[in-house]
């Protein structure tokens, strides 16, 4: 996976969401793809990718909140190279994210790539999440 505007180039590994909680890979340099959901490149639904933000630095998605509309995200699968363009970026409290989960992580609608990470470390925990949505692009 590559995000040129953020100088991110990393691997993607399958992850699960036991108890409905999506946990990024243990290696903060990798991105996790929710394996029970849509795969990037499928005809419908939102493929969900998550990565760590680390308050001291070193997390693959430390700067995810800096993405903006039009930025490119590239995902390489075994079959192809997929390009996406960012359409929206939102910051949500945990309660807001839970309220909008059905909409943000829809598995049946138009194909999208959704990137999720944590934001706003308070010394004990992250208070918010950043959610970036991107649509398929041929550019």
- The pLDDT mean for the chain works out to 92
CATH no., domain 2-136:
2.40.260.10
Per-residue pLDDT, averaged over 5-23, amounts to 89
Q: Is residue 139's pLDDT more than 70?
A: no
Per-residue pLDDT, averaged over 69-79, amounts to 95
Predicted structure pTM score: 0.93
Which tokens go with 21? 């909680």
Q: Is residue 24's pLDDT more than 60?
A: yes
Tens digit of each residue's pLDDT (9 = 90 or more) over 107-124: 899 999 999 999 988 989
Q: Is 96 helix (H, G, I), strand (E, B) or coil?
A: helix
Q: Is residue 21's pLDDT more than 80?
A: no
Q: Is 4 helix (H, G, I), strand (E, B) or coil?
A: helix
Strand segments, DSSP code E, in the chain are 2-3, 8-9, 12-15, 31-34, 46-51, 72-76, 81-93, 112-121, 126-137
């Amino acid at each position: 996976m590559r995000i040129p505007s953020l100088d991110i180039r990393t691997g993607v590994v399958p992850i699960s969401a036991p108890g409905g909680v999506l946990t990024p890979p243990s290696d903060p340099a990798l991105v996790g793809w929710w394996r029970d959901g849509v795969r990037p490149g499928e005809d419908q639904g939102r493929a969900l990718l998550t990565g760590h933000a680390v308050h001291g630095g070193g997390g693959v998605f430390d700067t995810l909140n800096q993405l903006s509309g039009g930025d490119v995200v590239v995902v390489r699968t075994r079959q192809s190279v997929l390009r996406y363009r960012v359409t929206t970026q939102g910051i949500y409290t945990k309660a807001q994210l839970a309220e909008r989960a059905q909409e943000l992580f829809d598995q049946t609608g138009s194909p999208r790539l959704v990137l999720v990470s944590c934001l706003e470390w308070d010394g004990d925990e992250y208070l918010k999440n950043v959610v970036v949505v991107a649509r398929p692009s041929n550019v």
